[in-house]
Structure 1
Amino acid sequence: MNQEKLEQEILDSIIKNFKTFFREEIAKNHLKNTSKLTKLNQFNPNPFLDTYKARFLTGNDDALSIAKALVYPRVLGTSINTSFGQQLQKYCSQILEGFASTTSGIDIEFIDKLDGRRKYCQIKAGPNTINSDDVTTIKDHFAGVKNLARTNNLNIGLNDLVVGVFYGSTEQLSTHYKTINKDYPVLAGEEFWHRLTGHADFYHILSDTMGDIALEYDSSELIEQVIVDLAKDIEKKLFDNKN
């Protein structure tokens, strides 16, 4: 098998695994979590803002409007964003199974297609998905790899210990990532996928794959039914108590 064909098979495998991962881990959980939102106790009602947000959204502050103001942000924002970040880190070995690492504290290892060096990489989801404690943890993991390299006479330079961020750009990286970047390279979005695969456009190919997957889903009827059911619960628990 020639090198070009082998590399294409690796790229095809990444895309296939990503599709499977998204359908099985993200979309299914998204539908499941959306279906649960029919009761007010699934939220943390804010009596100071919920009525305002309802009127801001629909011009009305009835139970149905409040339900919409609660459901839409959860379904289209918090729920899917949190799930994607958590699951992407958890299942990076599934998506990038051909690059899995056996080194403690390292998610994947790969030959950088731009500089030809072996990279020891921790995977993160997006440009705002780590906190200050993660900075210390990541640096400690990399320090452990450096110590292992010295013990085993391995040629591992500081630029070979990297953080790979699945999506976003260098300009979007949080201050926590920028702190890490002072000592170890943080490869974000397009640069990460370019170095991993050797294809400058692979990040955009993967993004287009999301568009293909999106065509498989239309949950508009589910969302509307959840809003109706939640509105009934709001009517019973909030409005009835005022009478």
Structure 2
Amino acid sequence: MIENKNTILAKAKTWFRETIVINHAGNSQKLVDPKEFNINPFLTVYLANFLTGNSSPQSIAKALIYPRVLGQSITTSFGANIQKFASDVLDGFASTTSGIDIEFIDQVDGVRKYCQLKAGPNTINKDDVESIAGHFKGVINLAKVNGLRVSYDDMVVGLIYGEAHQLSGHYKRITSQYNYPVLAAHDFWFRLTGDDGFYGELVAAIGEVAIEADYSQELNKIIDELAQQDEIIRLSRIK
């Protein structure tokens, strides 16, 4: 699996650079328009003062932009691109089975696994649980019709990142109610590659791309432009 490992690492770096970083920059550039925010005039002025000690247009712009670019925007982008991660990075494991993202031979037990990929330990909701269970049940029923032996343990949810103790109640319900395993990142990547240290290598590889991503000057320009908008200037005059 060494060749596969190196290929995955290289493709993961390309995916992060060409998908996550580019989308993040594009979404950030939209934030020069106050309409991109649901502005609460009470909290926004408060947060500007909390952040910088004043409610100047520049401070208000920072209070609006920082949470978006450092939290909501990038988190949403990462989660929304998991299917692209599957097709771009794990294309060698692509599945033709409906409702399944990848198939792989488990390097621990030697059994083929049918896997739905998810981003992290808090990235599904109640409806997702039912959808996942429905897809898995459909695969098991189809296998029976075709005379194939597929068990509940062969249907797995694999997480790109996150630890087992961080799993949300929705993920736990997939296991407790429906008996399908949820593989947190370390376990998932170990079973996929057979390398107990692969998850750490993957984090390090993405980290190499992250170091390239200095967007500070562009972000300052976005803050400056937002600070010049009439709605932001009006907020700054609240005393």
What is the CA deviation profile of residues 79-138 of structure 1, one whole-angstrom value per residue up to 9, with x for unaligned ones? Answer: 000000101234312110110011111110001111111101001011111111111110
Tell me the equivalent position of 1:233: 229
CA contact (8 A) 1:168 1:188 kept: yes
Tell me the equivalent position of 1:4: none
What's the CA shift for 1:238?
A: 2.0
Question: TM-score by structure 2 length?
Answer: 0.95
1:187 lines up with 2:144 in the alignment: no
How many percent of aligned residue pairs carry the same amino acid? 54
Tell me the equivalent position of 2:52: 58
Query: In the superposition, relative to structure 1, how do residues 113 and 239 fare at CA in structure 2: closer, same or farther (>3 Å)?
Result: closer
Give, as a single letter, the amino acid of the residue that structure 2 aligns with 1:188.
A
Answer with 84-93 or 182-191: which moved more.
Answer: 84-93
1:148 lines up with 2:145 in the alignment: no
CA RMSD of aligned residues (A): 1.6
What's the CA shift for 1:11?
A: 0.7
Distance 1:234 1:221 in 2: 23
SS in 2 for 1:36: helix
Query: In the superposition, relative to structure 1, how do residues 223 and 240 fare at CA in structure 2: closer, same or farther (>3 Å)?
Result: closer
Runs of 4+ in 1 over 4 A off after TM superposition: 234-237, 239-242
1:218 lines up with 2:218 in the alignment: no
Q: Which stretches in structure 2 are left out of the alignment for 5+ residues?
A: none
User: Residue 78 of structure 1: which of 52, 72, 75 is its match?
Assistant: 72
1:95 lines up with 2:101 in the alignment: no
Tell me the equivalent position of 2:156: 162
What's the CA shift for 1:139?
A: 0.5
Distance 1:118 1:33 in 2: 39
1:178 lines up with 2:172 in the alignment: yes
Tell me the equivalent position of 2:24: 30
Query: In the superposition, relative to structure 1, how do residues 240 and 65 fare at CA in structure 2: closer, same or farther (>3 Å)?
Result: closer
Distance 2:19 2:10 in 1: 14
Distance 2:125 2:32 in 1: 32
What's the CA shift for 1:23?
A: 1.3
SS in 1 for 2:149: coil
Question: TM-score by structure 1 length?
Answer: 0.93
Query: In the superposition, relative to structure 1, how do residues 119 and 236 fare at CA in structure 2: closer, same or farther (>3 Å)?
Result: closer
Distance 1:178 1:210 in 2: 28
1:203 lines up with 2:189 in the alignment: no
Distance 2:71 2:232 in 1: 27
Query: Looking at both structures, which has the greater relative contact order when contacts are Cα pairs under 8 Å and sequence separation is at least 6?
Result: 2
Q: Which stretches in structure 1 are left out of the alignment for 5+ residues?
A: 1-6
User: Residue 120 of structure 1: which of 102, 110, 114 is its match?
Assistant: 114
Q: How many residues align?
A: 237
User: Residue 109 of structure 1: which of 99, 103, 114 is its match?
Assistant: 103
